[in-house]
Amino acid sequence: MVMVDLKGLHTVKAKGRVYYYAWRGGPRVDSADAPGTSDFMRAYYQAIEDHRAPDPDRFRAVVKAYRASTDYTKLAASTKRNWSRWLDRIEDHFGELRIAQFNRTERIRQVIRKWRGTYAATPRNADYAMQVLSRVCAHGVDPQGKLVANPCEGIKHLYDADRSEIIWTEADIAQIEATSSDEIKWAVQLAANTGLRMGDLVRLSWSHVHEDEIILTTGKSRHKREAVIPLHDDLRALLKRIPRRSTAVLTSSRERPWTENGLGSSFNKAKIDAGLDNRDLHFHDLRGTAVTRFYLAGLSTRVIAEIMAWEETTVERIIRRYVARKAATLETIRQLRKAKRRTDSVKLPVKPSAKGAG
């Protein structure tokens, strides 16, 4: 076998299999043979040719157009890495279908549901697959104008979980802080006291911190919504403890601003080190913890709902579940202490001595 130096050929190993791509992020080479064989070379050049000039009447062209769009290229690096794998799978499965088939909505939905069913054992993966396919189809509708409608719309999610009422308790936070670095502690406490998502926390700079509040546009709203977070006592004290190493509030141990990937990886390691890796607790769940702290700091449920961009009923459920129980316990302790002080202050009457009687 003659070995050919294919400059840029990208190799990926996954689940015991080896996959080859014409280049990193490029088309996959559909060959079971090793590089240098005649079959591999045919597949290699075919992959490049298909990538350069896909049939404009087939769905592969819609996928490739989405890959080249600013909607895709402006995604976060971590998102692109995840989506790229799903785009490969979508292109492999649907690529040779004619676009006209996607415009027969009810029929193509049956095909889409069947494809999603191959991932049904892991519902979150199945829904993730649908999210990527839906975005491709949406791009095919507008701005491409290739599809008349998005056939993914109306297909229900398999995974249904509302995590808004899952929170880190004070005991959970104490456990992770016992074994984590100061940098992770600051990130955890800042999330638990502001309710900001990780992406917004790593963007938070000292210029966003004003005399009485933090004001920051949120990434979730594509910076159309502004979060205004009052500087309650615990938050104000926390900000005083965090050293000003950079324009960013949160920094790594290298004293540089965190990236979202860097903080996420370090947080997950800290969670494992603390023995919390078997607990269904995510960094995002610190937002629910913030709700309890906002309430204990005296903020109304309406104001908290505005800060979190949640329904007021969701905030009330969290408060009833976590705060009311704690408040009841604290009130019981307060009453017991009050009763004890009252008992200690009552002096027993002194009985007259026997000598003085008569």
Can you give the residue ranges of every domain in the chain?
1-53, 56-155, 164-333
Give alpha helix (H) positions in the chain.
Answer: 38-52, 59-68, 70-73, 77-94, 99-102, 105-117, 123-141, 170-177, 182-194, 198-201, 233-241, 260-273, 286-296, 301-308, 312-318, 324-345
**Is 252 in contact with 165 (CB distance < 8 Å)?**
no
Would you state the pLDDT for residue 116? 93
Average pLDDT for the chain: 85
Q: Do domains 56-155 and 164-333 have the same CATH topology?
A: no
Which residue matches tokens 């009453």? 335
Q: For the segment 28-83, what is each residue's pLDDT rounded down to a tens digit?
A: 887 778 787 887 887 787 776 666 556 889 999 999 999 889 888 888 777 888 89
pLDDT of amino acid 217: 93
What does the pLDDT read at residue 30? 78
Q: What does the alpha-carbon distance between residue 78 and residue 260 come to, in Å, rounded to a whole number?
A: 9
Interstrand relation of 17-21 and 213-217 (parallel, antiparallel or unpaired):
unpaired
Residue 358's pLDDT is what?
A: 43
Listed ranges 2-11, 111-120, 236-245; the one with the highest mean pLDDT: 236-245
Q: Is the pLDDT of residue 338 over 80?
A: no
Report how far residue 68's alpha carbon sits from residue 73's, in angstroms, rounded to the nearest whole number. 7
- Please report which confidence band the pLDDT of residue 2 belongs to, taking 50, 70 and 90 as the band edges: very low
Return the SS3 of 220. coil
> What pLDDT is attached to residue 1?
44
pLDDT tens figures, 314-327? 898 888 888 866 65
Q: Which residue has the higher pLDDT, 175 or 155?
A: 175
Q: Which of 101-105, 261-265, 349-353 has the lowest mean pLDDT?
A: 349-353
**Domain at 164-333, CATH homologous superfamily:** Intergrase catalytic core (1.10.443.10)
**Nearest-angstrom CA–CA distance, 77 and 75:** 6
- State how far the Cα of 98 lies from the Cα of 353, in Å rounded to an integer: 111
pLDDT of 346 reads 57
**What CA–CA distance (Å, rounded) separates 31 from 148?**
35
Among 20-29, 118-127, 184-193, 208-217, the range scoring the smallest mean pLDDT is 20-29
Task: Please tell me the pTM assigned to this model.
Answer: 0.53
* Greater model confidence, 277 or 234: 234
Domain 56-155 has CATH 3.30.1360: no
Distance, in Å, from the CA atom of 193 to the CA atom of 189, rounded to the nearest integer, reads 6
What pLDDT score does 326 carry?
A: 60
